[in-house]
A = this chain, B = another copy of it.
Amino acid sequence: MSTFVRRIPEGDNRERNVCADCGHIAYENPKVVVGSVVVAGEQVLMCRRAIEPRRGFWTLPAGYLELGETLEEGAAREAAEEANAEIELDGILGVFSIARIGQVQVIFRGRFKDHTAPRFGAGPESLEVALFSWDRIPWQEIAFPSVHWALNAWRRQGMSTLGAPAGNPADDRRGVHPMIPPRSLGAEDGL
């Protein structure tokens, strides 16, 4: 096994994990999460998580971008994997920073490729997948704060032409609150 030591590599300005044997620098980088708010009429597609963290809670089809993918390809793949849904994207709803866990999230607005008959189902990482109108969204069982942020961005934009993407909300500019603040739960959050 190689041993890593914390050291500032030459030409750098912060400590990295450097292999004591070979000098290999193991950079740890933020990760990109891509996902989508898939809209069918007045409803939005959500997935109940079959995996940790937050098993049993509701989220949007989203996950880590893979090497060699574009953001759009990643978002479409996640909808296919987690919700068995074939979708197309029309723009970016939100770009969020979750500094606490080193994530950047890019959330698109999407729709089903077949507008006339939305088809979806639970992929291996989902317990169930369903369409919800705004009032029926299971607000008490949302998996992550950023799911709220993306849903709120959809609520503000509706299906009108997309403008500037939403960013982090004013009460969590850096994405450091692990929990969803109670006052942003439910329909009483000012929307």
Contact = CB atoms under 8 A, between A and B. Distances in A.
A12 to B, nearest CB: 10
Given A2-B1, A28-B67, A67-B28, A95 B97 contact: no
Interface in A1-60: 1-2, 11, 13-14, 21-22, 27-32, 51
Interface residues of A, number: 43
A29 B32 contact: yes
Interface stretch (A69-77, A112-120, A142-150, A180-188): A69-77
Interface of A: 1-2, 11, 13-14, 21-22, 27-32, 51, 64-73, 81, 91-92, 95, 97, 99, 102, 104, 106, 124, 161-165, 168, 173-175
6 contacts: A1-B2, A1-B21, A11-B51, A27-B64, A71-B95, A72-B97
Given A22-B1, A164-B162, A165-B165, A29 B99 contact: no
B174 A70 contact: yes
B92 A30 contact: no
Contact of A173 (B14, B69, B70): B70
Contacts of A164: 91-92, 161-165
Contact of A65 (B29, B73, B173): B29
Contacts of A14: 66
